[in-house]
A and B are shown apart, each in its own frame.
Chain A
Amino acid sequence: MNSKTLACQIRKDCLEMAYLSKGSHIACALSIADIVAVLYSDILKFNPEDPKDDKRDRFILSKGHAGSAVYSALARSGFFDPEILKTHYANGSILSGHVSHKTVPGIEISTGALGHGVSIGAGMAYALKLNNKENRVFVIVGDGECDEGSVWEMALFSAQHHLNNFTIIIDKNRFQALGKCQDILKNENLKEKFELFGFKAMEIDGHSHDEIRKSLKVTSKDKPICIVANTVKGKGVSFMENDLKWHYKNPDEEQYKYALREVESEYDQ
């Protein structure tokens, strides 16, 4: 599936999951749909037949609450039957709200408490280098998540140890759980901050597949890489975009159908 088709599919799957499960975090998932789609279509090395294949790149969703986007990408990439997506959050399902490595093939690391995934990723990158391995490590982290001190501890370490096999992608949708980031903890100039910490940093449109692809292919001789992706929380569904309540709410039938049509028509253009 090319990245555009996959992104559309991810959005449709996420909407269906939120609708059926009555779970939360739909806007958080829509925000990263394009990044996840490009990762799984064009960048990550993976093997659905053998999720633990030595040659695989490591991908971690540090903002684990956006799990539905990754579950969809995994299902559509052959890791498990897409029908299972319909059971998200349900009793007896393998798909918990936050991503779980115990039950879902292809999930590298369980997250859900913010500010852990990035550091685990740095640890993997460090060990892979020690083992002279070529695999890359990619982590998606929220901009709100960057409030956590551990993110900055990770940044110090990664630069110190020249983890050039390590890329973090910041989903900069400008919202966190109780409001806009700028009203809670202003954490602006993220690109410049990571640059100062010793990363090779760049800022992109987090919904432009060309820009995402290009940035994910960037390498460095001796620096970890930080991609600040400007995104829209709820991207693709007009009434969910930049509206905090869709961090929590799930669509009713009418909203669900309307949202599906919007996502599909966007893709047709």
Chain B
Amino acid sequence: MRNAFINRLSELAKNDKNILMMAGDLGYNVLNKFYDDMPKQFVNAGIAEQNMTSMAAGMALEGKKVYTYSIANFPSLRCLEQIRNDILYHDANVKIISVGAGFGYGSMGMSHHGTDDMGVMRCLPNIIIFSPSDKNEAIRVAELSVMTKKPAYIRLGKGGEEDIHEYLEFNIGESINVVKGNKVAIFTTGPIASEALEATNILNEMSISTALYTFPTVKPIDEEIIKKCGNDFDLIVTVEEHNIIGGLCSAVAEVLAMQKNKAVLRKIGLNDTYISEVGSQKYLRERHNLCSKDIVNTVLDYINLK
């Protein structure tokens, strides 16, 4: 997903000299599309993310379309006040790219886990949050990010994600109905979508009619679809590789809470904890009950209870 995003963005940058890629001394063999092919549109800010972020704001205010790029928390949490005061308050055209959503860098350790970024970003005014689920969504997000002048946070998987659906021309704020159904609706965002898709397929095979929606934009969230699903389905399950506080589940709950629903909400996410265990993305998902079987069990538990 990361490479697909960068490839698409670099194509667009070839025709728009104002696009500028700023890296925090990262992107070996990934950003070469920029540093080799368009050296004038690439800046290595060094290992100095806070300065990078404020500088990006300054450049944007002078007419550049700046992308800052680093791993998980380095371009985001580390630079929180620079993002808030300099980018968002000044409405600067900066796009923050955070690579390694969730456990993308699983065995590197907690410093590299992107598991609370969406929540932190979501409570900042004037930010779009993109969280593509596969490479096709990432390609479209690259296009949308160039089209909008608004500041945005772009949360990318590190690579190797499964395709969830083909390329679609969705717009900012629109969810995507990947699988149709009428009893259970699964909402997901980011690389964990593959687990959600697998669970959806298993449930449908068990004759539990299950729909799947991805949310490539987490802010603004697709309120219309959430409200409609609240009315139409018996159960909504949110699935995210993120802390259970602040992310997709919170965003969905905030919308559902404003109306009377037929649906009940259940959540799959990290149980408000930091992860000290070592292991791959897959392993950490298993250890923390974020896998397709956990989603299926959540649905079955609800049905059996009823």
Contact = CB atoms under 8 A, between A and B. Distances in A.
Interface string A170-190: 000000111100001100000
B26 A96 contact: no
B148 interface: no
B182 to A, nearest CB: 39
B221 to A, nearest CB: 29
B66 to A, nearest CB: 18
A112 B278 CA distance: 14
Contacts of B48: 147-149, 185
Interface string B72-115: 01100010000000000000000000000000010111111000
A17 to B, nearest CB: 12
A113 B278 contact: no
Interface string A233-247: 000000000001001
Interface string B36-79: 00000000101110110000000000000000000001100010
Contacts of A148: 47-48
Contacts of B112: 97-98, 112
Interface stretch (A27-35, A84-92, A118-126, A223-231): A84-92
Contacts of B73: 113
Contacts of B109: 64, 96-100, 110, 112
Interface in A52-78: 64
A178 B26 contact: yes
Q: Which of B25, B26, B78, B112 has the most CB of A within 10 A?
A: B25
Contacts of B277: 92, 103
Interface in A94-111: 94-100, 102-103, 110-111
Interface residues of B, number: 29
A91 B111 contact: no
B25 A100 contact: no
Contact of A90 (B50, B78, B108, B278): B278
B283 A98 contact: no
B111 A147 contact: no
Contacts of B26: 177-178
Q: Which of B27, B50, B51, B278 has the most CB of A within 10 A?
A: B278
A206 interface: no
A contacts with B: majority SS: loop
Q: Which of B51, B107, B110 has the most CB of A within 10 A?
A: B107
A98 B35 CA distance: 28
A100 B106 CA distance: 13
Given A90-B278, A91-B283, A147-B25, A177 B47 contact: yes
A144 interface: yes
Contacts of A99: 109
B107 A178 contact: no
A248 interface: yes
A23 interface: yes
B47 A147 contact: yes
Contact of A112 (B28, B108, B280): B108
Interface in A10-44: 23
A148 B50 CA distance: 8
Given A96-B278, A178-B23, A248-B28, A110 B110 contact: yes
A33 to B, nearest CB: 21
B283 A110 contact: no
Interface in B256-289: 276-280, 283
A93 interface: yes
Contacts of A92: 277-279, 283
Contact of B111 (A111, A178, A185, A248): A111
A94 B74 CA distance: 24
Nearest to A64: B111
Nearest to A97: B108
Given A96-B108, A98-B108, A177-B28, A144 B278 contact: no
A93 to B, nearest CB: 4
A90 B283 CA distance: 10
Interface string B105-128: 101111110000000000000000
Given A110-B109, A178-B28, A184-B25, A149 B276 contact: no
B25 A144 contact: yes
Nearest to B29: A248
Nearest to A96: B109
A115 B278 contact: no
25 contacts: A64-B111, A90-B107, A96-B110, A96-B276, A97-B105, A97-B107, A97-B109, A98-B108, A98-B109, A98-B112, A99-B109, A102-B276, A103-B276, A103-B278, A110-B109, A113-B74, A148-B47, A149-B50, A177-B25, A177-B28, A177-B47, A178-B25, A179-B44, A244-B28, A248-B28
Interface of A: 23, 64, 89-100, 102-103, 110-115, 144-145, 147-149, 176-179, 184-185, 244, 247-248
Given A147-B47, A184-B44, 19 more contacts: A90-B107, A91-B279, A91-B283, A93-B278, A96-B109, A96-B110, A98-B109, A112-B108, A115-B47, A149-B51, A176-B47, A177-B26, A177-B28, A178-B27, A178-B28, A178-B35, A179-B44, A184-B25, A248-B29
